[in-house]
Structures are given as C-alpha cells and as structure tokens.
C-alpha cells in the first residue's frame, strides 16, 4: 500500500489542478506518469450539461476507435441459419442458443459484448434483466441489434466502444492502453469526443461539455480544456 501511495503522490505532483491542458498534453502526461507493473487502461471522463432523467437529453452511442482498445473482446452472437455462419466466419467467439441462455440465467457471463439479429431479440429478452444492468443488452442505437452481424462482430473485435451518460451526467469510456503512446491515445480520445459532440441533444441548453479528464488505472486525472475542441 505504501508503494501505491508513493506512486499516486508522484503522479499528482506532475499535474497542476489549476490548469486545463490540451488533449495532446494530457495524453503525454498520462503516458509519462510513474507506472505499475501492468499495462494500464486509459479512460476518458466527460461531464455533460444534460439531464439524463429526461429522455430527450439521453446521450448514448458508439464509436470505432482508430487504434482499438488493446485487448481481446469475447463476442457472443444470437443468430441462426446463415447469419450464425456469417458471425462465426467474422470471428464471433460464441453463438447464443437455448443452452447459452440457461447458462446465463445460472450466472455464467464469460463474454464481453453481445450482438443479436432482430429475429432473435425475443430469446434475448428472456435474459434482459441480467444483461441490461451490466451494459450487455443488444441495442439497435449502438449497432448491436442488426442483420449485418459480420460487420458488427468485426467492429467490436477491432475496438468499437459503446458509451452512455450516467445519472450524474458523466460519460466514462476506455480509450486504450498506456503502451499505445500519447499519439494513438490522443487519436482515440479525439474520435470519442467528436462523436459525443455530434450527439448533442437539441434540447440541451447552455454549456454542453462542462469538463473532460484523462486518466490511467492507477494514475492521476489530467483535466482537458473543452475549448481545445471549440465547444461552446
């Protein structure tokens, strides 16, 4: 615990709490911070000026990060017939069936993402109360309920992330690993931010992007200047 404390203190000492950095500067600082003995995940936190309690201010979407996430993603696909074959050829790890549904009801959750063809949503609905709270329920708004299963599988395997604003008005999303380096992390974070900006609800008034922070698993958060993206 002492070593962890020293590392966090050293990381915080490198960051000025009164300054807002550019995305490039923030990425460089995160990469340069004292590192533990594993490749940390880098996360982006964006606080929005919306009220998620109002349906017309819910911000939800997905984006394929240009440099991926740096980790393998186990994809479960609910499909049948030719679409099942298509999913497997595209790299799906599992095909959902009645046996898989029963396993999930029993607590089995050895997968990271779920895709379903529209005609299979009746079956998937049986485990909606399990998948939903874990952010695993397929949804057409983020492209995981589709007949284009090959494309959906490939996107998830190569770094597609889904995001959704939380009750506190914050979006949290991974944007890669520290080992990516500052340039690739900046590209991924920029792609995510640009997508969030495009999804600004028409009913959202005032400042949309209130604050942005970039941080690694064990590192200090580095605050980014929203004006770096020309956001009002």
Parallel, antiparallel, or unpaired: how do β-strands 160-164 and 170-177 relate? Answer: unpaired
What CATH number belongs to 16-68+160-229? 3.30.190.20
**Whose CA is closest to 70, among 152, 185, 154?**
185
Confidence class for position 86, pLDDT limits 50, 70, 90: very high
Is residue 187 scored above 90 in pLDDT? Answer: yes
Q: What is the CA radius of gyration of the chain?
A: 19
| 190-231 per-position pLDDT tens digit | 999 999 999 999 988 889 999 999 999 888 899 999 887 654
Q: Please give the structure tokens belonging to residue 26.
A: 């923030």
What integer is the mean pLDDT of 154-164? 91
Is residue 123 scored above 90 in pLDDT? Answer: yes
Matching CATH topology for 16-68+160-229 and 75-157?
no
Is residue 4 scored above 70 in pLDDT? Answer: no
* HSE-up of residue 95 (Cα within 13 Å, Cβ side): 15
Spacing of C-alpha 211 from chain mean position:
18
Is residue 40 scored above 50 in pLDDT? Answer: yes
What integer is the mean pLDDT of 100-106? 95
Task: Give the domain ranges of the chain.
Answer: 16-68+160-229, 75-157
What integer is the mean pLDDT of 56-61? 92
Distance CA 100, CA 106 (A): 10
More confident residue, 36 or 191: 191
Average pLDDT, the chain: 90
Q: What is the pLDDT of residue 206?
A: 87
Is residue 3 scored above 60 in pLDDT? Answer: no
Superfamily of domain 75-157: Ribosomal protein L1/L10, domain II (3.40.50.790)
- In percent, the amount of the chain with pLDDT more than 70 equals 91
Q: What is the pLDDT of residue 9?
A: 54
Q: What is the pLDDT of residue 227?
A: 83
**Whose CA is closest to 131, among 152, 153, 109?**
109
Q: What is the DSSP string of 104-153?
A: HHTT----SEEEE-GGGHHHHGGGHHHHGGGT-S--GGGT-B-S-HHHHH
Helix (H, G, I), strand (E, B) or coil at 22: coil
The pTM of the whole model exceeds 0.85: no
């Amino acid at each position: 615990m002492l070593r962890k404390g020293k590392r966090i203190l050293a990381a915080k000492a490198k960051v000025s709490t009164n300054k807002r950095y550019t995305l490039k500067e923030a990425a460089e600082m995160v990469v340069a911070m004292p590192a533990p003995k594993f490749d940390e995940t880098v996360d982006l936190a964006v606080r929005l000026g919306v009220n998620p309690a109002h349906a017309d201010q819910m911000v939800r979407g997905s984006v394929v990060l240009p440099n991926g996430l740096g980790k393998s993603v186990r994809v479960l696909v609910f499909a049948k017939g030719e679409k099942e074959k298509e999913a497997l050829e595209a790299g799906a790890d599992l095909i959902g069936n009645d046996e898989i549904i029963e396993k999930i009801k029993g607590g089995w959750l050895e997968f990271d993402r779920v895709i379903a063809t529209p005609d299979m949503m009746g079956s998937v609905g049986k485990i909606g109360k399990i998948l939903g709270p874990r952010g695993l329920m397929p949804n057409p708004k983020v492209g995981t309920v589709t007949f284009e299963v090959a494309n959906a599988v490939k996107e998830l395997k190569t770094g597609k992330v889904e995001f959704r604003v939380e009750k506190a008005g914050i979006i949290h999303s991974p944007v890669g690993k520290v080992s990516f380096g500052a340039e690739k992390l900046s590209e991924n974070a920029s792609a995510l931010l640009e997508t969030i900006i495009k999804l600004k609800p028409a009913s959202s008034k005032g400042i949309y992007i209130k604050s942005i922070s970039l941080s690694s698993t064990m590192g200090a958060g580095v605050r980014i200047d929203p004006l770096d993206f020309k956001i009002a």
